[in-house]
Every structure is written in C-alpha cells, then in structure tokens.
C-alpha cells in the first residue's frame, strides 16, 4: 500500500512539470500565443510544442490564417496555414498606384498630365508598372496622332516623338494674306502684282501698273482719250503718269515719241522730219563707232578695243582685274562683270547679312538662346541693296542652363538650349529647384509652366525615377 502511494506521488510530480518559453514560464498543459512570431505555444510534460496560427507582415503584425489585409492601396495579401509548422502569404489583389488611385491590371487610363497619353497597368514576373499604350501630341487642346500633320495659324506642324518627348515639329511656314493661308511656294496675282510665299514671307515677284481692267509693264505707254500714260515702277510701288496729247491729225510717232508736223530733229547721221502722217530720214554722213556723224568724203582713224578689264581701287592704287574676278568687302562680295558688246565694265555686289562674327548668306537662319529664329533677307532701300537679320519666330522654349529630364526611359536632347512641346526640364537657382514643362500656346507662342508639387510626384511615377528636385 505504501509502495503504491509513492508511485502515485512520483507520477503526479512528473505530470506537473512546467515549461519555459522566451523567459516565460508555462504550467503543464497551458497554451500561450506569441503574436510577434504568429505561433501558439503549448506546454506538455515539461516540453513545449509550437504551431503556426497565421502570417507575420513586415511590421511584425500577426494575421491569423484565413484572413486578408491591405499592404497598400493596390495590394491585398492573404494568409493560409498549410500545416502546424508552415504558414504562407499569397497575393489576393494587385494593381498599379497612380495619382493616389489603384489601377487594375489591364485597365487603360488617361494621364493626369495630358489626356492625349494613355497608360495601362501591367505585370511582368510579379513586377507591376505603367506602360504607355497610346501616345499623341496635344496642341491647343487637340490630340494629334504621331506622324499626323496639322496647321496652326498658317504654320504646318507634324506630331513627332523626339527623345521621348511628344512635340510639334515645324514642317512648313505659310503666308497669311487677307485672312487666307497661302502655302510656301505658291504664287498668286493681286491688282497687277505677282506675289510668292517663301517660308512665311510674302515676296513680290513682278509688279505692273493697273489701269481699269488692264495691267501694263514698266515703261509701257498707252492712250486714253486725250491723255497718254506711262507706267513707272520703283522699289515700293507703281506709278502712272499722264500727259495731254494733241488730237489734231498729222502727228508722227517715231521710236515712241510723238513729233509735230514739220518738226525736224537729228538722230545720229540722219536728219528726221515729220511730214503729215509719217517721218522721213535724210542721210548726212556716216555713222562711226563713237556714235558721232562723219561727213561724206572725210577719212578718220580709230582705235579698236581688244581687251576690257575692271578698274579696282585698292587703297590709293588702281588695279586692273579680269572678268569674273571677286573680292570680299565686309559682308559683300564684289564681282567684275565685262560687257564686250558695249565695251563697258562694272562691279556687281552680292550682299550677305552680318551676324555676330560671321556673314550669313541670303535665306539662311540663325538661332539665339531665347529660341528665336532670325533669317537673312536682302532688299532694296533707296536704290541700294540692304541686308538685315529678320525675326522669324520661336521654335521652342529656352531651358536657360537647365537640365532636361529623362522621359519614358529615353535620354532627351536639346537644340542649342531649345526644347519642344511637351518637354520637361528642371532648373537649379540659388539653392532652389523647380521643374517646368514647355507648351505651345498658338502661333510661335511658347510658354514654360512651372509644375506643382503633386504634378512633380505624378511625373516621377510616369518616368519611374526620382527627379531629385
């Protein structure tokens, strides 16, 4: 009897052994939940056993098996316990975070920066991102397809993508005439004047005098009633001058000049007289090369010209130069021209425009830092050739020492510090940084718009990178 009592006391002592877990003492048969490890600890016979009851997230929060939780706005995670010793997380829902909203996979949506750009949320190898699926140029509130040509205020543009930027590329410049747009190269006639459009500039090709419904060339004469009119043209306009003529019969017209009946005049070796309705010529001698008249029977010797050159004054000395000889004076090129039919010579001047330290040929364009274009034009002023660099309009926005941003994973470039429509760039100034966008606001009207903080955040999401501004 005593032996049996001793055995019962020994067994009871064994069955009531406690357990220690992470500095915590558990009674035999007690259960403890470790939320940081997401485990259930059981003490039995002095030994502990562990069993997973859920999954632990990155913040050491335990989520029981069979439950779900939001990792962020776009991701929902679930937990399942597969055995006592394993528990695993699985993806319940995923998408792309854009502008504070979650976009489902495969869902197309318009960019907050431009409704001409369409993105789609995609997944590749469990990596989620935004993909540009439709891209167009936005000009004055209108979307244009890539490669599409369109006109704005008589200027023809083409929607292009250059180094990741969607921009309006200038294709051709027309001329605005009386509210109508004339394409470059077109010619037309108005009021006896013929015009042509040359890349945005209206030039006069031919000018005549208008009288009634007829056009007359320079120097041409005509009679209307008792008046005779003559067309004369200068550098700026045409002019019609008229004189009253006699209505009496018997007037002679010779070489475009009206002579009165009985009038006598000399023409070289001929004495001319007006006899009623015609003129008569009476020879007086021989016509010589000097256009003087030599009497009949007289002998005269002359010198024949065998060679003609141009007289070029080089400082204090005179120099004879051949036909075609050229020299440069400033931005003008002088060329010797010899006319052997008239035994004469002259210098013809070909003028260019002075631009900083160079001479620019007619028609060529130069660009300044403000993105303004200037074109060399040659024109007549007070009867002399005059040159000027004429302003033609801007081609984009000046970044003024700024830095173009990486758009759509492509490195952007600029032309002499000028960027086109839709380009983004940042400028550091006095320890401050700002991000700007270049926009076309009409005919050659370019404007840089400063981005707000939330717009910079959206832009970083689009380019999948940090602007560091």
Q: Could you read off the pLDDT of 99-139 as tens digits, one per residue?
A: 888 888 888 999 888 888 999 999 888 888 888 889 898 88
Average confidence (pLDDT) over 44-62 = 90
Question: Which stretch of DSSP H or E encloses residue 230?
Answer: strand 227-233
The residues pairing with 408 across neighbouring beta strands, listed in sequence order, are none
What's the first-to-final CA gap in the chain, in angstroms?
Answer: 90
Across 127-186, where does the E strand assignment appear? 127-139, 142-145, 149-152, 155-162, 165-173, 175-177, 180-182
Mean pLDDT for the chain? Answer: 79
pLDDT > 90: percent of the chain: 11
Does the pLDDT of residue 14 top 60, yes or no?
no
**pLDDT tens-digit readout, 145-164:** 988 888 888 888 899 888 77
Quote the CA–CA distance of 429 and 155 in Å, as a whole number. Answer: 35
Does the pLDDT of residue 338 top 60, yes or no?
yes
Closest CA to 352 of 334, 372, 331: 331
Which residue carries 């027309």 as its tokens?
174
**pLDDT tens-digit readout, 203-228:** 888 888 888 888 888 888 888 777 77
The DSSP string of 350-392 is EE-EEETTEEE-TT-EEE-TTSEEEEEEEEEETTEEEEEEEEE
What is the band of 295 on the pLDDT scale with cuts at 50, 70, 90?
low
Task: Give, as one character, the DSSP assignment of residue 151.
Answer: E
Contact 434, 393 (CB under 8 A): no
Residue 311 has a pLDDT of 86
Q: Which of 87 and 417 is assigned the larger pLDDT?
A: 87
Each as own residue / partner, the long-range contacts of residues 73-76 (CB below 8 Å, 24 or more positions apart, any chain) are 73/97, 73/100, 73/101, 73/102, 74/102, 74/103, 74/128
The whole-model pTM stands at 0.36
Quote the CA–CA distance of 371 and 91 in Å, as a whole number. Answer: 52
Residue 55 has a pLDDT of 93
What sign has the CA pseudo-torsion 49, 52, 58, 59? negative
Residue 316: partners with Cβ closer than 8 Å, 6 or more residues away: none
Quote the CA–CA distance of 96 and 131 in Å, as a whole number. Answer: 10
Quote the CA–CA distance of 187 and 87 in Å, as a whole number. Answer: 83
């Amino acid at each position: 009897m005593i032996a049996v009592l001793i055995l019962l006391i020994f067994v009871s002592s064994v069955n009531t052994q406690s357990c220690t877990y992470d500095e915590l003492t558990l009674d035999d048969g007690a259960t403890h939940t470790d939320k940081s490890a997401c485990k259930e600890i059981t003490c039995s016979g002095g030994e502990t056993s562990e069993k997973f009851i859920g999954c632990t997230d990155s913040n050491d929060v335990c989520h029981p098996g069979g439950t779900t939780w939001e990792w962020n706005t776009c991701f929902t995670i679930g937990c399942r316990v597969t055995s006592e010793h394993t528990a695993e997380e699985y993806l319940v829902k995923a998408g792309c975070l854009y502008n504070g909203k979650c976009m489902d996979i495969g869902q197309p949506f318009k960019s907050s920066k431009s409704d001409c750009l369409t993105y789609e949320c995609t997944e590749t190898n469990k990596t989620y991102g935004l993909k540009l699926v439709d891209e167009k140029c936005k000009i004055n509130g209108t979307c244009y397809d890539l490669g599409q040509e369109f006109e704005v205020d008589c200027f023809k543009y083409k929607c292009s993508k250059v180094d990741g930027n969607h921009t309006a590329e200038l294709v051709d410049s027309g001329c605005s005439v009386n509210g109508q747009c004339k394409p470059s190269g077109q010619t037309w006639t108005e009021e006896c004047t013929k015009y042509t459009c040359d890349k945005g500039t209206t030039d006069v090709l031919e000018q005549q005098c208008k009288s009634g419904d007829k056009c007359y060339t320079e120097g041409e004469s005509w009679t209307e009633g008792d008046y005779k009119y003559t067309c004369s043209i200068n550098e700026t306009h045409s002019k019609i001058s008229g004189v009253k003529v006699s209505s009496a019969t018997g007037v002679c017209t010779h070489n475009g000049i009206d002579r009165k009946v009985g009038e006598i005049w000399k023409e070289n070796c001929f004495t001319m007289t007006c006899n009623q309705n015609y003129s008569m010529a009476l020879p007086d001698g021989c016509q010589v090369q000097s256009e003087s008249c030599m009497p009949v029977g007289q002998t005269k010797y002359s010198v024949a010209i065998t060679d003609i050159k141009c007289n070029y004054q080089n400082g204090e000395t005179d120099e004879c130069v051949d036909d075609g000889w050229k020299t440069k004076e400033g931005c003008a090129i002088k060329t010797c021209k010899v006319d052997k039919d008239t035994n004469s010579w002259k210098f013809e001047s070909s003028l260019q425009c002075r631009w900083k330290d160079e001479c620019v040929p007619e028609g060529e364009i130069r660009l300044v830092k403000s993105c303004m274009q200037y074109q060399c034009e040659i024109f007549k002023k007070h009867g002399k050739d005059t040159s000027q660099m004429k302003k033609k309009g801007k081609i984009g926005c000046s970044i003024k020492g700024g830095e173009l941003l990486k758009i759509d994973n492509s490195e952007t470039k600029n032309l002499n510090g000028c960027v086109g429509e839709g380009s983004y760039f940042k400028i550091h100034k006095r320890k401050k940084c700002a991000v700007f966008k270049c926009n076309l606001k009409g005919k050659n009207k370019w404007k840089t718009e400063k981005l707000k903080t939330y717009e910079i955040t959206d832009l970083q999401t689009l380019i999948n990178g940090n602007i560091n501004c």
